[in-house]
A and B are shown apart, each in its own frame.
Chain A
Amino acid sequence: MTSPRFDPGSFRDRESRVALHQERILRLLSPEALASWNALRESRSFERAVAGGRIVGTKRPPDATELLAAFPGWAGILEHERVPFVSYPYEWSFSMLQDAAILQLELLLEALDDGLTLKDASAYNVQWRGAQPVFVDVGSFERYVPGEPWVGYLQFCQLFLYPLLLTSHRGVPFQPFLRGSLDGIPVAAMTQLFSARDWLRPGVFADVFLHAKLQAGNAASRTAVRREVRRSGFSREMIATNVRRLLRIVSGMRWKLASSEWSEYASDNSYDAADAEAKKAFVTKAAATRRWRRVWDLGANTGTFARIAAEHADYTVAMDSDALSVDRLFRELRAEKRRDVLPLVANVVDPSPGLGWRGRERLPAGDRGRPDLTLCLALLHHLVLGGNVPLGEVVDWLAEPGGHLVIEFVAKGDPMAEKLLLNKLDNYADYDRDEFERLLGLRFELLDRLELRGGLRTLYFARPTGTAREASTRP
């Protein structure tokens, strides 16, 4: 039995910290945070938001006294429902960040109505249950003190508004910016990315340009601006006015990118209708062999196979490096109110690393819960022929989670593989079906196999053998 420990990503707020104990998610509260929690749980908006799944389920654990004994100095303890798979804003698509921003703003408005506020506005406080955003940082709520401004406004801009503006107004993907800085896009950098021609676009003049000017002009000031403003009569209504304005801006944003290389894949691949059906039948048969706890679909694209797997899984994470495909899948899943499939922007050859303090504040995907089934369909040729990863390394990597595998080998003669080699030197002698099957056999036991398109594409269903039978990569 492991002893309770603090979550490595929860330390910024000294009043409220998340701890992990076995499979349980606990939250420790200081005396001030405990008073805020008591005010929150009695508020109308909190009960409504939890019932609607917008705030994570939270209760006082039955063994609170024993648990608190392991954390001396804390006044209270709460237990949260587990989110099926933790994800970060740099893995979300445009519409996902937009929905998360709307949730953040709506919760703040509702809290203000109940005499409460949110002490921060971090995008990391939102997680997902499928296509539904869930606010997880109950410790963010506190009693509103009359005269106080919205402390989280700058953070909201940096982590929500600016990334969304960048994508909607400039067409620039925000994910690399958020992955590059956990605090988001600084206001000084953001103002450099826009010009005076953009001033009429919603949110640019006030929230970016004016914000940057006021920040630069007052950053070094020793004037107690916060107290000055309080004494001048700053009010809760002023926060609400600003939040409603931001809600209009965020809700009105659109990502204009009409198409991308991958988003048309479902109707632009080398399969004919009969082969496509055979492929679906193969994946369905493999997925139906048992109930899976967690499935990863790598290169999920339009999500066809993630949906098939989801019929036999508790939770499916559908990952693709193309943000537009992920966005389209998300919007479909949102319309269907799916809670069991999470679409994420993720690139297998450039995966989310450990970030932040000691590289453990935000974790690599594999450290957030490994799959017991991985789908790797029409992806292998991209990793080897496109990403230059040696074939043996890919197989080794796929074996790491220790789960079952459904994988497709696309031979060099296939038009989609040929396309990748059009302008490249073909020095991929290892990319060969016989060699792939040899490597697969070192790590996995084959359960099923199907050839399609005259052998140009082959599907495999395999289970892990646990250890490599011999060195998997040739010298």
Chain B
Amino acid sequence: MLKDRIGSLAFAAAILLLIPVPVYAYLDPANGSILLQVILGGVAGGAVAIRLFWGRIRAFFGAPSAPVSRDDKPSV
């Protein structure tokens, strides 16, 4: 039983290690620059822009918006 649990934990840990997580770089990409990259991102950028601004419209009309968490702040 214990062996199975350790095995499951090791498997989960291995999966977690394989999934890249956002570790923010020392440089702040700056909000305006990120948004401009959406605009300059070609056809794919258009689709992202629609989803992005639709999300903002929904948030404006009361849909819950994502709070700023520590993860969203760049490391200094």
Partner-B contacts on A (CB < 8 A): 12-15, 32, 119-120, 142-155, 157, 187, 206-207, 210-219, 221-235, 237-239, 241-242, 245
Contacts and interface: CB of A to CB of B under 8 A. Distances in A.
B65 to A, nearest CB: 8
B23 A229 contact: no
A33 to B, nearest CB: 11
A237 B41 CA distance: 8
Given A227-B66, A245-B40, A232 B33 contact: no
A206 B47 CA distance: 19
A234 B48 contact: yes
A74 B22 CA distance: 21
A288 B67 CA distance: 71
Q: How many interface residues does chain B have, given as a range?
A: 35 or more
A224 B72 contact: yes
A114 B20 CA distance: 15
B69 to A, nearest CB: 7
22 contacts: A14-B75, A144-B20, A149-B29, A150-B29, A154-B33, A206-B36, A210-B39, A212-B32, A215-B30, A223-B68, A224-B66, A226-B29, A227-B66, A228-B56, A229-B34, A229-B35, A229-B48, A233-B51, A235-B48, A238-B44, A241-B42, A241-B44
Interface string B44-70: 110111011001100000000111110
For A146, A150, A222, A232, which residue has the most chain B Cβ atoms within 10 angstroms?
A232
Contacts of B39: 206, 210
A242 to B, nearest CB: 5
Given A221-B31, A227-B72, A242 B37 contact: yes
Given A211-B32, A224-B69, A239 B37 contact: yes
Contact of A232 (B26, B32, B52, B75): B52
B55 to A, nearest CB: 7
Contacts of A206: 36, 39-40
A153 B22 contact: no
Contact of B36 (A119, A210, A223, A231): A210
A149 B44 CA distance: 13
A15 B26 contact: yes
Given A143-B20, A157-B33, A228-B66, 6 more contacts: A32-B23, A216-B32, A232-B52, A233-B51, A234-B41, A235-B41
Contacts, number: 145
B15 interface: no
B6 interface: no
Contacts of B68: 222-224
B2 interface: no
A237 B44 contact: yes
B13 interface: no
A40 B41 CA distance: 25
A223 B31 contact: yes
Contacts of B35: 214, 218, 225, 229
B38 to A, nearest CB: 6
B14 interface: no
A257 to B, nearest CB: 30
A32 B21 CA distance: 12
Contacts of B22: 145, 147-148, 230
B50 to A, nearest CB: 8
B16 interface: no
Nearest to A212: B32
Contacts of B40: 206, 238, 241-242, 245
A152 B27 contact: yes
Nearest to B17: A35
B25 interface: yes
Contacts of B52: 228-229, 232
B15 to A, nearest CB: 16
Contacts of B36: 153, 206-207, 210-211, 214
A238 B42 contact: yes
Contacts of A148: 22
Contacts of A144: 20
